[in-house]
């Protein structure tokens, strides 16, 4: 267990950031699942920019790796184009 005040504060900060990052990562994953489940091209094209924006923000903030973001964007664009 942490003994110093600064170490205790760091534990509190890490937990708060972990929950924050977890929320945004889960929200993006749900949006990706929704986009992949979409069979209507028009609704997929409306949802696609929002999902791409989410992925860009996650990779910018180092919540997910930039290559993972690129791979997801690539596969999602293929999905939307094939509809």
CB 58, CB 30: distance < 8 Å: no
| pLDDT tens readout for residues 2-61 | 889 999 999 999 999 999 999 999 999 999 999 999 999 999 999 999 999 999 999 999
Question: What is the domain partition of the chain in residue ranges?
Answer: 5-82
pLDDT of 1 > 80? The answer is no
What's residue 41's pLDDT?
A: 94
Q: How many CA atoms lie within 13 A of 70 on its CB side?
A: 3
**For 63-82, what is the mean pLDDT?**
97
Architecture of the domain spanning 5-82: Up-down Bundle (1.20)
Q: How many CA atoms lie within 13 A of 80 on its CB side?
A: 20
Q: What is the pTM of this model?
A: 0.86
């Amino acid at each position: 267990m942490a003994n110093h005040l600064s170490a205790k504060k760091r534990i509190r900060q890490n937990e708060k950031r972990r929950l924050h990052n977890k929320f945004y990562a889960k929200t993006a994953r749900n949006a990706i699942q929704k986009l992949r489940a979409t069979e209507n091209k028009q609704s997929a094209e409306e949802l696609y920019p929002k999902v791409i924006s989410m992925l860009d923000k996650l990779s910018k903030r180092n919540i997910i790796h930039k290559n993972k973001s690129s791979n997801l964007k690539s596969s999602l664009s293929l999905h939307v184009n094939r509809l």
